Each structure stands twice: as structure tokens, then as C-alpha cells.
Chains A and B, each alone.
Chain A
Amino acid sequence: MSKENIKIEVDHITRVEGHGNIEVNITNGTIEKIQWQVPEAPRFFEAMVVGRDYSDVATITSRICGICSIGHTFASLKATEAAMGIEISDATRKLRELLLHGETLQSHILHVCYLVVPDLLKVNSVFPLIETHKDVVLLVTKLHRLANELCDTIGGRTTHPIRARVGKFSKMPDKKELENLKARLVASVDDLKKLADVVKSLAGNIPAFERDTEYLALTYDKEYAFYDGDCITNDIKKVISVADYRRVVNEFIVPQSTAKYGKFNRESFMVGALARFNNNYKQLTPLSASVGEMLGLSKPNTNPFMNNIAQVVESVFAVEKSIELIDWLLADELKLETAPVKPKAGKGAGAVEVPRGVLFHEYEYDDKGKCIKANCVIPTNLNHNNIQLDMEKLVPEMMGLGEKELQFHLEMLVRAYDPCISCSTHYLDVSFTK
């Protein structure tokens, strides 16, 4: 490593959702500072919902994030339903699961293909790939469109779902829509296999980097958890109920971030596709598990860059499960089922696995159903501390590659986590001095 002092300032790390900064100072070959910072404008959702009627809360908190608006809607509805003791019907639950798989597929395809693949091909965006890899780009837009149309068909709108309400869906899809959707999902399995082959051809460019950490996810005895489940990590033997989520997330405030951080048994934990995979891989379908094996995803896996591979695995899983859920829905009459809702005072927490990890919402209501207190714990926040510790291990290991490559790897690391920073509270400025 050079002993010179070189000053590098790169503004605005791109291709992430939201704003974050990386600051690295290396002087005379000595590392003085490595810091991941989140300067996103805080938005104060927990204050925004205070005083609002229970029926409006999910409409508002859905707006925490455009990419995972469906997950926010469900965490919110589940928390409200828990607070008021509302039991939803099986059909409502299955429709929610289906809609959540649609969002997972949409988000994973967008992230892996539009935001990460340019790194693996060393280009600055997906745009040049329209010329050089047109077939692949068209394959990707086709899958992305299908995922969005699933969300449209079930939720009434691609982003910020309309039909998902407290205790019910306000409108059901019809039989023909579901049959059409199923046929397209069945046909998309081959497209996903082609996509997995493309990813395999690029997988050699995924950096070799390992750091074992605590992996936090929901787990559910009946299936690989997305909609239902309790909290689990690789460091605990017994699951912890969602109602006790504060014991798990332990949020704290740091000076370098407007987003709150979290930790449990170690200095940091990781949430997201890799954390779900590491805790629940035994519950994958044979096809999704085989895609993981083909792409070199060991069980468990401690390379954070492999989060993107876990996202490919989960995309296959989401399609297979969606087909299953549609079959279930089609086996019965599609009619509106509304759970009885009676506003009452109470407190409740709800959690779902969204593309970037486990998401918690908690609300307290008065006897008229007005929200008096809210807490939303966002998966991207939970990852910030883990990103920091990954950087602290990665910088000394890779500083020999030179400043340009080091910076490239740091940016790529952040992107691997698929951070959705506007959720947490936008621009990634990298400035580092060497």
C-alpha cells in the first residue's frame, strides 16, 4: 500500500434507493476512519399517524417506501388487527401472501437486474445493456412486468395497494384474471431459469469476502416465512414472538445517521434474503433450492455479496408459491370476506418479511380507534450497523487493490444489501481520503 496521502472524493454513490455516504480516510497507509453514514431527510411517520383513524394508518405508512409499499401495508394491517383482536379469513390471508410474493419478485428482479448486474458487467447503468444485452434486458422487463401485473391484479395498483384493508380485501380478483395470471407465472419459470443461467455466467465477478454475523429473520413451521412467523436468529435456540420484537431489534440512535440502528446478540445483525435463506433454507422448494446450489450459495452463507444470489433463489420461490396460492384460491368461490371490525383501545405489533428483511410496525389505539403511538422498524436500518462492520473488515483486506477498486467494492457492498434508505428515514456520497 502506498504511503502517500491521496484525496479522493466521489459524490453520490448511485443505484441504491435513498441517500447514504461512505467516508474512508487512509493516511500513510494507516486507516483512520471508515464510516457508513445515512443523511437521508427524516420523515417522521411515527408522528404523522398520531391522531389518525385506524382505517387510514396503512394508507399513510404504505408511503414510507414505494418499493415495499405492499410489505408496509401488511405490517401495518397486521399490527392494527393485533391491537384490535381482528381475525382475517383464510382467503384474505392467501391473497395477502400472493400479493407479498408479487412485491418480492418485483423488487428482487429490479434490484438484481437493474442495479447489481451493471456492477458485474462493469457498466454504469442498465441503459448500455439495452444495446449490448438486448435479449437479457427484454427478459428482465418481461419478468418485472409480470410481477407488477400480479400486484395490479391482486392489490388494485402496482404501488401503494388499494384493496388491502383492515380485516379484508375491498375487491376480489375474478376467476379469469387469476387463471390468466397463473398461466403467465407457469410460463415464467423457464424465463427465470434463463435468468439464473445469465447470473451464473457473471457469478465469478462476485467478490470473495466472508464475515459471519447474526442473521435475523422470521421463521414459520409451515413454510419459508414471508407473511407469517416468529423471530429467529442463528444465535438463539427458541423463537421470539413478534409481540416481543423490541427485545430483538434494540434500536439505538447514532450521530452519523438519521436512521436508527439495531443489534441483538452480537455487535450487529443482518436481515434480508441471505438472512432468510440462512435460517430457513430447508423450507425452499426443490427448484428454488437447486438454483441456489447451481449459483454456489452454500448453506449457510456468510458472504454479504451473496445476498443478491439469495434474491434470485427467492424470485424462483415467489413464482412457485404464487402458482400454488392461485390454485388454492381458484379451488373455492372468490367472494368478499370481511372480518368484523370494532375499534377498541389496545396495542399490537405486526411483522412481515419484505424484500430487504423483516419489517415491524406497532401501534397503540384509543377506544375510538385513533392512533396514539406508533413505531416502525425498517429492515434497511437494521442492516446499517452490519454494513459498517463489513466495511471495517473489507477495507484492510482490499486496500491493496488500489483506491479505484476499493471504492468500487465498497459501493458494491452497499448495493448488495439493496438498501432502501428513504424507507429508513437518499444520495450516497463517497468521500475518501487516503
Chain B
Amino acid sequence: MSAKPKVAFFDFACCEGCQLQIANLEESVVGLAQLVDVVEFREVLTGKAQEYDIAFIEGSITRKADEARIKDIRSRAKMLVAFGQCAVSGGVNRLKNNWANMDEVKQEVYGDSYNMPHLDTYPTKGVGEVVKVDFNIPGCPINRDEFLRVVKELLIGRVPRLPNYPVCVDCKMQENACLFDFSITCLGPLARAGCGAICPSNGVACDACRGTVDNPNKNAMHEILTKYNYTVDEIKEQMNIFGVEPEV
């Protein structure tokens, strides 16, 4: 390749914590910056471009205007990567979809002024629900080492793969005691690994912020729930936090 690949970063509704993980790569990001030509990255760079080899999208789609913008970016990008759970599944932003209708959501936050046109919103969507996504990097926030690995693979033309085994595997590797034994309901048996079981390793339940594995072992989950006297509904509520569709 003669010219460096042109990459761009865009954000929609999100906390921008995932692009912060890229800044947090510190010295590695200096190395990565030498391999690519960062043509747009509003948060750190003044500048704009017309075409991109890779467009990285953070955040979820929450209003009509977002749809037009993401479609325009898609039309100018050879490859589009959704990074972070907001972009992948809608993330926490999907919690508002639990409400019966969006007027109620708007009223709850903006009171009587809820109908002002600029406060418009619709049920949250992941990027893949609006345009074709070439690769998803899940997590809330993303695991920055995984981001670095995926970008390197994309740059050398390989198809990156995500771990397709549950967080329990990572957790065993960390030699943690099972949280169910401490009366903590944990989504580890269903959730996609790749985070190093960071939450259980810190004594906190996995909330499946990276979504589930492709074919979650529901029977095993049911067995665990029965053994520890929990109900499926309790797990459903927990899965709801990061916009994971309950498959239990």
C-alpha cells in the first residue's frame, strides 16, 4: 500500500468513554498513529475528509437526524467498524426503550417543555440496525488491548475474530471463586469473554456489557439459576442494563 489508510472516528449518543480508551493506549497510540492517516477525529483534531478506508463509529442512533448522518458516513467509508456497546447494541441508551412511549421519556426529563422540537428522540438503535457494519468491537467500555489487536488485524487485511466462549472461561483462568457462591447473580455463563473477567475479578457481577456468545448455553444457565434459587426474570433485568436481548 503506497498511501497510509485513511481512518476517521465519529460519535453518536454515548459517553465518549470508548474513544477515551484509545487515548488511554498512551505510547501505543503514538505508534498506531504512524501507521494510519487520521483524517477526522473531532475530539482531538481539527480537520475533515471526504472518504475513509475505515470509519470507526461510537455511540447509538437515537433520532432521525442521526440516521441520515450515519448513512452518509457509510456511503463514504470502505469499511465501517462499530466500537463500544452503545454502537453495537444501543448499550445503556436502550434502557429508555423500556418505556411505553418516547413522549413519557421526554416528559420525565424535560417536564412541560418535552415537546420542544430539538428534544426529539426515538427508541435507541445500534449502528447495525441502520447501516451495514463490517465489524463490531463490543464492551462498555471497550477493552483497549482488544481494540488495538482488531485494528492491527484490519490493517494487515485479516478478518478479526472475537472470543466466542463465556466470561466464565476467563474467570476460571483468573482463578476466581464463583460469585454465585457469594449470593451474587452473575451473567458470566452467557456473556462473551474477552474482558479478562474484569468485573468478577473485582468482586462484582458480570452484566454482559459485551453481549452474549453466539449460542449461549441456556440450559446450563437455567441449571445454575435453579441450583442457587434465582428466577429467569431476575437475570432478564440484569441483561437489560447494556441492551442485551434476553435469550434466556
Q: Show the binding face of A for B, using Cβ within 8 Å.
A: 11-12, 14-18, 39, 41-53, 56, 59-60, 63-67, 69, 110, 114-115, 124-127, 130, 137-138, 141, 144-145, 148, 156-160, 162-163, 165, 170-171, 253, 255-258, 260, 422-423, 426-427
Shortest distance between the CB of B77 and any CB in chain A (Å): 18
Contact call B45/A15, Cβ cutoff below 8 A: yes
Q: Name B141's closest neighbour in chain A (CB-CB).
A: A159
Contact call A17/B43, Cβ cutoff below 8 A: yes
CB neighbours (8 Å) of B45 from chain A are 14-15, 124-125, 127
CB neighbours (8 Å) of B99 from chain A are 47
CB neighbours (8 Å) of A257 from chain B are 118
Q: Name A60's closest neighbour in chain B (CB-CB).
A: B92
Contact call A67/B116, Cβ cutoff below 8 A: no
Q: Show the binding face of B for A, using Cβ within 8 Å.
A: 11-21, 23-24, 26-27, 30, 33, 38, 42-48, 59, 62-63, 66, 91-93, 95-96, 98-99, 104-106, 108-111, 113, 116, 118-119, 121, 140-141, 198-199, 201-204, 207, 237-238, 241
Q: Out of A18, A50, A63, which one reaches B108, CB within 8 Å?
A: A50
Contact call A171/B203, Cβ cutoff below 8 A: yes
Contact call B96/A44, Cβ cutoff below 8 A: yes
Shortest distance between the CB of B150 and any CB in chain A (Å): 18
Shortest distance between the CB of A376 and any CB in chain B (Å): 10
Contact call A67/B92, Cβ cutoff below 8 A: no
Q: Name A64's closest neighbour in chain B (CB-CB).
A: B15
28 A-B contacts (beta carbon < 8 Å): A17-B43, A39-B118, A42-B121, A43-B62, A44-B121, A47-B108, A48-B96, A60-B92, A60-B241, A66-B14, A110-B23, A115-B44, A125-B47, A141-B26, A141-B27, A144-B23, A145-B27, A148-B24, A156-B198, A156-B199, A162-B198, A162-B199, A163-B203, A253-B111, A256-B118, A260-B110, A422-B13, A422-B14
Contact call A41/B66, Cβ cutoff below 8 A: yes
CB neighbours (8 Å) of B63 from chain A are 41
Shortest distance between the CB of B17 and any CB in chain A (Å): 2
CB within 8 Å for A42 and B16 given contacts A114-B23, A157-B198, A253-B113: no
Q: Out of B24, B33, B66, B241, which one reaches A127, CB within 8 Å?
A: B33
Instruction: Give Cα A157 to B17, complex, Å.
Output: 12
